[in-house]
Amino acid sequence: MGLDDYYQQDDPVITDTIKAILTQYSNIPEPELISHIRAIRDKAFEVYKYPCIGSYNFLDFSIADSPIYGDLVERVKKNGATFLDLGVCFGQDIRKLVFDGCPSGNLVGTELQPAFINFGYELFRDREKLKTPFKTGDYFASKTAHDLPEQSFDFIHSGAFFHLFTWEEQVEAISRAVQLLKHKPGSVIFGRQAAKDVPGEFPEMTARSGPMYMHNAESFRKLLHEVSTNTGAKFDIDIDVREKWGQKLTGDWKVLSFIMRYVD
């Protein structure tokens, strides 16, 4: 399959969550939702043909599917916990957290493409009210990712970000996340990504130096062990692989969810 094949001709599925956020948070009239979403999706797909954009998977607000989501929201709201979202795309998961009561100033997002941040403001119509800082550019370019302070975040989320790279780059990417995570019990790196029954390179998608590497549970656990060896950080790790997620994703993919809980 070529990347153009991931462009869905059908309208997106408007779930109750999508409707609530876009009508209540963004104040978009319900009859305008589909045309509004399609217009943003089409512009973004011209910038880069990510399958998750062509297939409307940015509408899944997948962060809320994590078993730790309730704890995340509670700690950000009540304890001032800090949260970093890597490769935010349109920042949809940050908007979900804000919609559920988290102060947007406690949240930080990163994204390679500055255009996607602007598409997020267009999609959610919140440029004037959202206080979340977004760091754009190459995640790998500086001593720490985007020059963010070391050990400054309680939660780090990767929704379809780590899987964009080669095996070696994934080790570096996750190690950089460990560098930004507070090294204390209760700190968590978590997220989800595309998976295959048989791990290996996915030649259709080259995001940096080579084809992305897609995992199954066993290969991803092996990679995380390599991260722990490189960083000296120890984690309790939960990995779960299930059938396709959310919107109508094309292709023979599954979804791998993971939680890395820091331990002394």
Percent residues over pLDDT 90 in the chain: 85
- At residue 249, does pLDDT exceed 60? no
pTM for this entry: 0.95
How do residues 48-72 score in pLDDT, each as one tens digit?
A: 888 889 999 999 999 999 999 999 9
Does any domain span residue 12? no
**Residue (of 249, 93, 240, 236) closest to 161 by Cα position:** 93
Does any domain span residue 130? yes
Domain that holds residue 132: 60-263
Does any domain span residue 232? yes
* Confidence band for 89, pLDDT divided at 50, 70 and 90: very high
Type of residue numbered 23: T
Does any domain span residue 24? no
| CA 116/CA 122 separation, integer angstroms | 10
pLDDT at res. 3 = 77
- At residue 180, does pLDDT exceed 70? yes
Q: What is the CATH number of the domain that holds 81?
A: 3.40.50.150
pLDDT at res. 5 = 80
| Count of structural domains within the chain | 1
pLDDT at res. 203 = 82
**pLDDT top residue among 160 and 247:** 160
Does any domain span residue 38? no
| Mean pLDDT calculated for residue range 12-22 | 96
How do residues 21-54 score in pLDDT, each as one tens digit?
A: 999 999 999 999 999 999 999 999 999 888 889 9
Does any domain span residue 51? no
| CA 245/CA 23 separation, integer angstroms | 23
Does any domain span residue 167? yes
Residues 6+ apart with CB under 8 A from 263: 185, 234, 235, 236
pLDDT at res. 247 = 58
Does any domain span residue 158? yes
pLDDT at res. 250 = 54
- At residue 196, does pLDDT exceed 60? yes
